[in-house]
């Protein structure tokens, strides 16, 4: 008897991708637990704490959804770009620029915040956030489309440029009394939160979940429609599968590279806006805790499916929330990395079958 | 502002980038792009610092760093070479994994003191005017190592047989395979070597050039710059050396620029608005992008640059065999 | 036959009962193959008959499930090409296995034990030069491979093997990329090497070439040997063909005479560069009428691909290209597609289809933006599925359903899918490049018949092929390309292999292209 790895000739069963993804998540917790135990921590206690701080109460779950919101938006943007095999790992930078642009509304200011109806101000912030992200996605898109420059590198580099750009403003012109942040924005421009309903129903008091999560859900539905039903989605899928065939079929690839990059950037920019207006209520250093990179992982784990992006984002939101609270501080990074590694390793099961065979009979069976 | 001191410091910090970039050049020359340099570097920095702190032996610390980076890179090698997973995604997850491991294992080490790799002055060579003071006076052992590493790596890649095989595997793996060169073997080896160098460059931070452990601020994104430097250098170790020193010099320049009120007889804008320095900090990244644009113009692209099989898994029988 | 051929001696290679299986495929089924020392042994068979598999077994790239291999009488078991090379076997692959950025010598040194460390290229350049002279091969050892012509690259491949001291050479369809005259030169070199004691396996599917070069031959059909090491005396081409394909092949297609109509496509002074920015098309004039097939003959790489690309809008060019009176030069593909151009690309998998998408999504590739397949911004996949099912039936595409991924189709069925998509748009002009390459005989006939049917309906067809038999059978006129120029246009009925061969190598010129006067085709002049 021996183990044999054979290439699949048929499609893998439908349940297999889901099963391996779930298996990878579970196994990642087991492996990380082993590492934690090895350094002398009690993994079970950490996980229990983990679970409690993420799902222990409605308030905790509200926190998880707050963290999940930018991940959903960024993950969706990445999922679309990855469908065209565009490696937008610049969501981090697009997020920062989106946050910057939406902050302009209050900080420049573009409108008189105290007299303009909040819905107009917030709407303008959203538009500018989207615009900023799209603009910042346009740059690598253009470089890729016109000069064929590797977008992984350009997006990575632009991430840093975006951070320094933000720093210039929050350390300087927009600084709040020398702190590395802007003054807190007036309440009128905050995205509505569950806590705002606390007067009507005390159940919601202290819940920070804001309407940004609804934007995320709407975008997920829209993206599903785009990918599966629209002409644009068909083009994206065709370019993603075989760009030469797409060009042969008369599709303008350069234009679509730029469009998809802008769309992807726009979603990251919107995520930046929701973070500024819905969570921190000002522009500051490190508004993103690697959301851009986590978004890449979310999209990949979700196998580029919009609804799966939402679910995976919630899991990662939980990791982030719990990770804030527990020591050692790197646990959530560790688990994220392990999960992803296991998932991409398990992809091999989609292409190959592992079978236990009787060596003597093997050749006969295969011939049949 | 002293130009000599700035150059001295630039070479010193540039050495960190140089070592990591040369490791990555080896990996990418074999066709494996490893975006996990930042993770491997941080893990190496932690391993070196922790070992140095616990054993008091800095040489053991270097060994630990090399192994930490190398072993971590094997995870990337396994999934990208054998499982043919996407190198981008795998590299990113390696960054997370390495960072996570480093933070978990390095818990409680922040602010401690550990033995370090010594600085020293080379006799004779340090007597050369200017050059001696910049390159050979009170520099770290790693800096001298860097002087040797880049030309040796260059010679190895272009002028030796193993280097020939390395280039062949990265350019046209099927050709190497038919001539009996083990494509997987070569890719594993150089991915591992890349990891070892990344780990070593981490040690170069934590126990040599800027000693100490400050969790993920220890590397503060230098791994990513090293990845950029590889492209900036067009996969050539000698250019990586120049680029590394240039980037290092720029970092130092930023600090020094804020000092004097006058600069070259002009009013120094950085003195009056320190925040303008942020624009200078963008420079290495903007320069890398510009280097890419410059390198992409078709006349110059002719037969230099990225290894042709970079990022592509090799599957026997499916690539023209 | 020469002095080294001697059946009594120990054979150079003896493969017995070789069986090689892949999941779902039986590539070699108990194949026997014997190569004598100093002979040229042809291995004949259609694409997919198992020739390459058998040779990859011999090279150690695949391990057979059953069977034994003896080399010079000694039983061997090769686990990698390294083992095969060590045993004195070398293979020149169909696709050259060269590293373009490296020099000739560097390419030769890959994988060798010596030198161990320092390369010392000057010394080895000299060695390579010496070896090349010994076998009468002209090459510059320090030239970079990407600068070499196809023929020169092939010489590097041969040198690579000779340098390793190989006594057994496997040539995988070596003439496919060469002009007839270049091929003759190669064959002379091979014969010379055989007379010096080298044993050569010559893989081919060209009957005439095999008759010219081989001492003996083995024929494979669907993984089985249908002839094992037979001599060539007194065996007819028809007999060989039937051993190869399993039935008598009709060498002449039935074609109806037809008067060509209006000019559909006209190229005026079209020039273009290739991917390396070198001139690939030089002032090409061509014209093509409705109901006419214009064949394009030429050795691969003489501008045919670029010609197809400029016409289909995939490459920039100078000059004018009239399609039904509209200039389509330098217009994106969507313009010519809209103008009634159908394109059957050379690379079915790489260009003609999206391998991981369904048959449905593949057949709507060119009409997904028109009613009723889509409405405004939305694709109606129900309608698309219906359209696909219709085509699947009409063109007899064998697949479980229209949801099957394109990559799961066989070569013939994939080509039918592409033809179904392209022809269903009722084109005025079809540009077909190598439409039958790599297909089995049944599929070839189906594809050729489809093209002739289109000609009947008044469609103009530009047919690029490297198969001269196919061109002569189908074309009304044949234009010959050499180094980016149209060196002449001959009438399809009057074309003969010799004339075409001379024109393809630039040794002869024929008359120009427009307007087509059948009488003019007869009066060709020699140049030089």
The one-digit pLDDT tens for each residue of chain A (368 residues) are 565 666 666 667 778 777 887 888 888 889 888 888 888 888 888 888 888 888 888 988 999 999 999 999 999 999 999 999 898 989 999 999 999 999 999 998 888 888 999 999 999 999 999 999 999 999 999 999 988 888 888 898 899 899 999 999 998 889 888 888 899 999 989 999 888 888 888 888 888 899 999 999 999 999 999 999 999 999 999 999 999 999 999 999 999 999 999 999 999 999 999 999 999 999 998 888 788 888 888 998 888 999 999 999 998 898 888 877 766 677 878 888 888 888 888 877 777 776 666 654 444 444 33
Nearest to B104 among A153, A160, A331 (CB): A331
Mean pLDDT of chain B: 88
How far B224 CA sits from the closest chain A CA (Å)? 8
Do C113 and C75 lie in a common domain?
no
Neighbours of A51 (CB within 10 A): 13
B311 lies in some domain: no
Q: Which domain holds residue B221?
A: 3-301
Averaged pLDDT for residues C366-386: 90
Torsion, CA A78, CA A81, CA A83, CA A86, rounded to 10? -120
Return the top range by mean pLDDT from B228-237, B300-309, C3-12: B228-237
Do C394 and C443 lie in a common domain?
no
Shortest CA distance from C92: residue in chain B: B178
- B113-142 pLDDT, tens digit per residue, is 889 999 999 998 889 888 898 899 999 999
Which chain C positions have a beta carbon within 8 Å of A9's beta carbon? Answer: 23-24
What is the domain count for chain A? 1
pLDDT at A286: 83
Cα atoms in the Cβ-side hemisphere of radius 13 Å centred on C330 = 8
CATH number at residue C17: 3.40.50.300
Mean pLDDT of chain C: 85
Go through chain B and tell me how many residues it has: 321
Do C323 and C463 lie in a common domain?
yes
What are the CA-CA distances from residue C446 to residues A59, A214, B80, B247, C400 (Å)? 69, 56, 43, 64, 21
β-strand pairing of C279-289 with C199-204: unpaired
Please indicate whether, in this complex, the C-beta atoms of A242 and C332 are within 8 angstroms of each other.
Answer: no
pLDDT at B173: 92
Which chain C positions have a beta carbon within 8 Å of A245's beta carbon? Answer: 350-354, 365
- For chain A, the first-to-last Cα distance in angstroms comes to 19
**Percent of chain B, pLDDT > 70?**
94
Q: What is the 3-state secondary structure (H, E, C) of chain A?
A: CEEEEEECCCCCCCHHHHHHHHHHHHHHHHHHHHHHHHCCCCHHHHHHHHHHHHHCCHHHHHHHHHHHHHHHHHHHHHHHHHHCCCCCCCHHHHHHHHHHHHHHHHHCCCCCCCCCCHHHHHHHHHHHHHHHHHHHHHHHHHHHHHHCCCHHHHHHHHHHHHHHHHHHHHHCCCCECCECECCCCCHHHCCCEHHHHCCCCHHHCCCCCECHHHHHHHHHHHHHHHHHHEHHHHHHHHHHHCHHHHHHCCCCHHHHHHHHHHHHHHHHHHHHHHHHHHHHCCCECCCCCCHHHHHHHHHHHCCCCHHHHHHHHHHHHHHHHHHHHCCCCCHHHHHHHHHHHHHHHHCHHHHEEEEEECHHHHHHHHHC
- Chain pair A-C, CB pairs under 8 angstroms: 78
Between residues B277 and B155, the one the model is more confident about: B155
pLDDT at B257: 78
Per-residue pLDDT band for C19 (boundaries 50, 70, 90) equals very high
Averaged pLDDT for residues B28-42: 95
Q: Which domain holds residue C403?
A: 355-425
Nearest to B168 among C82, C110, C118 (CB): C110
pLDDT at B258: 76
Do C365 and C452 lie in a common domain?
no
pLDDT at A64: 93
Do C330 and C366 lie in a common domain?
no
Radius of gyration of chain B (CA): 20
Go through chain C and tell me how many residues it has: 528
Which chain A positions have a beta carbon within 8 Å of C331's beta carbon? Answer: none
- B177-188 pLDDT, tens digit per residue, is 888 899 999 999
Show Cβ contacts of residue A40 under 8 Å, excluding neighbours closer than 6 positions. none
pLDDT at C253: 59
Please indicate whether, in this complex, the C-beta atoms of A234 and C361 are within 8 angstroms of each other.
Answer: yes
A209 lies in some domain: yes
Between residues C397 and B163, the one the model is more confident about: B163
- C380-430 pLDDT, tens digit per residue, is 999 999 999 999 999 888 888 899 899 888 778 899 999 999 998 889 999
B146 lies in some domain: yes
C135 lies in some domain: yes
Shortest CA distance from C119: residue in chain B: B160
B269 lies in some domain: yes
pLDDT at C523: 38
Percent of chain C that is helix, strand, coil (3-state, to 5):
30, 25, 40
Do C151 and C211 lie in a common domain?
no
Per-residue pLDDT band for B200 (boundaries 50, 70, 90) equals very high
Give this prediction's pTM. Answer: 0.82
Domain boundary among the residues C110, C131, C166 is at: C166
Tell me if C210 sits within 8 A of C42, measured CB to CB.
Answer: yes
Please indicate whether, in this complex, the C-beta atoms of A241 and C377 are within 8 angstroms of each other.
Answer: no
Distance CA C196, CA C58 (A): 22
Do C324 and C371 lie in a common domain?
no
pLDDT at C24: 64
Nearest to B167 among C82, C95, C102 (CB): C102
Which chain B positions have a beta carbon within 8 Å of C156's beta carbon? Answer: none
Q: Which domain holds residue A206?
A: 73-300
Distance CA C377, CA C374 (A): 7
Residue C497, pLDDT > 90, answer: no
Domain boundary among the residues C249, C271, C292 is at: C249
Q: A187 in contact with C at a CB cutoff of 8 Å?
A: no
List all residues of chain A from 242 to 261 with a beta carbon under 8 Å from chain C. 242, 244-252
pLDDT at A10: 67
Do C397 and C470 lie in a common domain?
no
Token pair 């020392």 is at which residue?
C37
Token pair 């192994």 is at which residue?
B67
pLDDT at A231: 94
What is the domain count for chain C? 4
Q: What is the ipTM of this complex?
A: 0.86
Least confident of B221-225, B295-299, B317-321: B317-321
Please indicate whether, in this complex, the C-beta atoms of B224 and A160 are within 8 angstroms of each other.
Answer: yes
A163 lies in some domain: yes
Averaged pLDDT for residues C211-223: 88
Do C21 and C74 lie in a common domain?
yes
What angle in degrees, to the nearest 10, is found between the helix axes of A291-301 and A58-83? 70
pLDDT at C527: 37
Distance CA B161, CA B155 (A): 10
Nearest CA-CA partner of C266 in C310, C307, C321 = C321
Residue B305, pLDDT > 80, answer: no
Least confident of A93-97, A325-329, B53-57, C157-161: A325-329
A146 lies in some domain: yes
Give bridge partners of residue C327 from the DSSP assignment. C322
**Percent of chain C, pLDDT > 90?**
42
CATH number at residue B60: 1.10.3470
Torsion, CA A271, CA A274, CA A279, CA A280, rounded to 10? 80
* For testing contact with chain C, the best of B175, B235, B306, B308 (most C CBs within 10 A): B175
C94 lies in some domain: no
pLDDT at C256: 76
Do C212 and C75 lie in a common domain?
yes
* For testing contact with chain A, the best of B100, B102, B105, B220 (most A CBs within 10 A): B100
Tell me if C403 sits within 8 A of C356, measured CB to CB.
Answer: no
Do C119 and C240 lie in a common domain?
no
pLDDT at C2: 47
Distance CA A50, CA A35 (A): 16
Q: What are the backbone dihedrals phi and psi of residue C487, each rounded to the nearest 5 degrees, phi first?
A: -90, -5
Tell me if B198 sits within 8 A of C104, measured CB to CB.
Answer: no
Please indicate whether, in this complex, the C-beta atoms of C111 and B180 are within 8 angstroms of each other.
Answer: yes
Nearest to A344 among B90, B96, B215 (CB): B90
Return the top range by mean pLDDT from B295-299, C274-278, C285-289: C285-289
Do C241 and C143 lie in a common domain?
no
Per-residue pLDDT band for B318 (boundaries 50, 70, 90) equals very low
pLDDT at C245: 64
Residue C51, pLDDT > 70, answer: yes
pLDDT at A357: 61
Residue C200, pLDDT > 50, answer: yes
What is the domain count for chain B? 1
C95 lies in some domain: no
pLDDT at C294: 95
């Amino acid at each position: 008897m021996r183990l044999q790895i054979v290439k699949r000739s048929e499609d893998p069963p439908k349940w297999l991708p889901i099963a391996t993804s779930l298996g990878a998540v579970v196994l990642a917790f087991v492996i990380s637990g082993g590492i934690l135990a090895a350094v002398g921590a009690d993994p079970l206690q950490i996980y229990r704490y983990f679970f409690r701080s993420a799902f222990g109460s409605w308030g905790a779950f509200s926190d998880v959804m707050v963290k999940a919101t930018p991940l959903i938006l960024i993950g969706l943007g990445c999922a679309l770009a990855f469908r065209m095999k565009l490696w937008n790992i610049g969501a981090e930078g697009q997020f920062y620029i989106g946050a910057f642009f939406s902050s302009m509304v209050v900080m420049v200011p573009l409108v008189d915040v105290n007299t303009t109806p909040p819905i107009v101000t917030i709407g303008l912030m959203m538009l500018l956030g989207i615009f900023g992200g799209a603009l910042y996605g346009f740059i690598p898109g253009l470089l890729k489309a016109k000069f064929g420059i590797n977008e992984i590198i350009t997006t990575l580099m632009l991430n840093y440029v975006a951070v320094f750009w933000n720093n210039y403003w929050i350390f300087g012109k927009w600084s709040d009394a020398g702190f590395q942040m802007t003054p807190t924005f007036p309440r009128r421009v905050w995205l509505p939160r569950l806590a705002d309903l606390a007067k009507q129903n005390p159940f919601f008091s202290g819940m920070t979940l804001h309407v940004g999560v609804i934007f995320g859900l709407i975008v997920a539905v829209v993206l599903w429609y785009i990918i599966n039903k629209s002409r644009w989605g068909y083009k994206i899928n065709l370019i993603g599968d075989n760009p030469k065939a797409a060009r042969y079929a008369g599709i303008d690839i350069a234009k679509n590279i730029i469009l998809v990059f802008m769309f992807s950037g726009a979603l990251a920019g919107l995520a930046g806006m929701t973070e500024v207006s819905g969570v921190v209520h000002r522009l500051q250093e490190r508004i993103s805790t690697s959301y851009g990179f986590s978004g890449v992982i979310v999209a990949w784990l979700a196998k580029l499916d919009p609804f799966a992006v939402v679910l995976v984002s919630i899991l990662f939101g939980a990791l982030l929330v719990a990770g804030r609270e527990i020591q050692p501080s790197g646990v959530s990074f560790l688990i994220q990395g392990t999960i992803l590694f296991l998932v991409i390793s398990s992809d091999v099961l989609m292409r190959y079958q592992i079978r236990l065979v009787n060596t003597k009979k093997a050749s006969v069976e295969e011939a049949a | 502002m002293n130009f000599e001191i700035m150059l001295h410091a630039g070479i010193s910090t540039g050495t960190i980038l140089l070592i990591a970039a040369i490791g990555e050049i080896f990996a990418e020359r074999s066709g494996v792009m490893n975006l996990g340099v930042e993770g491997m570097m941080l893990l190496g920095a932690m391993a070196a610092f922790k070992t140095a702190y616990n054993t008091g032996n800095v040489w053991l610390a270097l060994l630990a760093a090399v192994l930490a980076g190398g072993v971590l890179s094997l995870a990337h090698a396994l999934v990208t070479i054998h499982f043919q997973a996407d190198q981008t995604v795998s590299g990113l997850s390696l960054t997370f994994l390495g960072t996570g491991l480093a933070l978990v294992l390095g818990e409680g080490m922040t602010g401690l003191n550990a033995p370090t790799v010594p600085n020293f002055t080379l006799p004779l060579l340090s007597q050369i005017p200017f050059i001696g003071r910049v390159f050979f006076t009170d520099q770290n052992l790693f800096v001298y190592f860097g002087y040797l590493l880049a030309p040796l790596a260059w010679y190895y890649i272009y002028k030796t047989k193993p280097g020939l095989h390395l280039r062949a595997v990265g350019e046209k793996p099927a050709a190497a395979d038919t001539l009996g060169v083990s494509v997987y073997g070569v890719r594993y080896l150089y991915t591992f070597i890349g990891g070892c160098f990344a780990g070593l460059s981490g040690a170069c931070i934590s126990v040599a050039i800027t000693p100490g452990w400050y969790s993920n601020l220890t590397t503060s994104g230098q791994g990513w710059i090293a990845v950029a430097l590889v492209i900036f250098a067009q996969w050539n170790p000698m250019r990586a050396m120049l680029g590394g020193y240039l980037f290092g010099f720029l970092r130092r320049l930023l600090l020094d620029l804020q000092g004097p009120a006058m600069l070259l007889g002009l009013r120094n804008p950085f003195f009056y608005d320190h925040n303008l320095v942020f624009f200078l900090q963008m420079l290495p990244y903007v320069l890398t992008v510009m280097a890419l644009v410059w390198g992409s113009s078709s006349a110059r692209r002719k037969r230099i640059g990225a290894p042709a099989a970079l990022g592509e898994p090799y599957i026997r029988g499916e690539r023209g065999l | 036959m020469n002095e080294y051929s001697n059946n009594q001696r120990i054979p150079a290679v003896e493969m017995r009962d070789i069986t090689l299986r892949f999941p779902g495929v039986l590539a070699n089924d108990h194949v026997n193959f014997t190569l004598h020392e100093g002979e040229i042994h042809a291995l004949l068979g259609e694409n997919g008959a198992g020739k390459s598999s058998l040779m990859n077994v011999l090279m150690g790239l695949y391990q057979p499930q059953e069977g034994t291999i003896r080399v010079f009488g000694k039983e061997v078991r090769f686990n990698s090409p390294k083992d095969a090379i060590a045993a004195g076997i070398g293979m020149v692959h169909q696709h050259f296995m060269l590293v373009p950025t490296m020099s000739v010598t560097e390419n030769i040194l890959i994988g060798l034990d010596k030198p161990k460390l320092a390369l010392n290229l000057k010394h080895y350049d000299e060695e390579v030069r010496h070896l090349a002279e010994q076998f009468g091969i002209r090459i510059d050892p320090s030239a970079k491979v990407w600068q070499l012509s196809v023929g020169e690259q092939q010489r590097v491949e041969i040198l690579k093997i000779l340098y390793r001291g190989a006594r057994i050479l496997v040539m995988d369809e070596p003439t496919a990329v060469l002009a007839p005259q270049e091929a003759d030169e190669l064959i002379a070199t091979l014969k010379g090497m055989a007379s010096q004691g080298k044993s050569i396996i010559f893989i081919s599917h060209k009957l005439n070439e095999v008759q010219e070069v081989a001492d003996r031959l083995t024929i494979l059909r669907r993984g089985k040997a249908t002839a094992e090491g037979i001599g060539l005396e007194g065996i007819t081409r028809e007999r060989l063909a039937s051993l190869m394909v399993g039935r008598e092949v009709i060498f002449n297609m039935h074609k109806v005479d037809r008067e060509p109509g209006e000019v559909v496509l006209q190229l005026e002074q079209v020039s273009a560069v290739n991917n390396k920015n070198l001139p690939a098309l030089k002032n090409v004039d061509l014209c093509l009428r409705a109901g006419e097939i214009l064949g394009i003959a030429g050795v691969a790489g003489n501008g045919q691909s670029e010609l197809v690309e400029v016409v289909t809008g995939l490459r920039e060019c100078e000059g004018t290209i009239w399609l039904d009176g509209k200039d389509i030069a330098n217009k994106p593909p969507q313009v010519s597609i809209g103008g009634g151009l159908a394109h059957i690309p050379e690379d079915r998998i790489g260009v003609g289809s999206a391998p991981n998408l369904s048959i449905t999504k593949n057949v709507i590739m060119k009409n997904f933006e028109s009613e009723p397949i889509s409405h405004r911004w939305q694709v109606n996949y129900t309608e698309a599925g219906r359209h696909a099912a219709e085509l699947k039936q009409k063109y007899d595409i064998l697949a479980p359903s229209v949801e099957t991924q394109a990559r799961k189709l066989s070569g013939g069925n994939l080509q039918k899918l592409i033809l179904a998509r392209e022809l269903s748009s009722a084109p005025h002009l079809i540009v077909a490049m190598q439409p039958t390459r790599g297909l089995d005989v049944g599929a070839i006939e189906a594809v050729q018949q489809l093209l002739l049917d289109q000609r009947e309906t008044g469609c103009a067809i530009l047919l690029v092929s490297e198969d001269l038999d196919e061109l002569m059978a189908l074309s009304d006129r044949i234009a010959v390309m050499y180094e980016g120029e149209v060196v002449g246009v001959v009438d399809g009925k009057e074309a003969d292999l010799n004339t075409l061969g001379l024109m393809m190598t630039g040794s002869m010129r024929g008359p120009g292209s427009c307007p087509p006067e059948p009488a003019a085709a007869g009066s060709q002049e020699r140049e030089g």
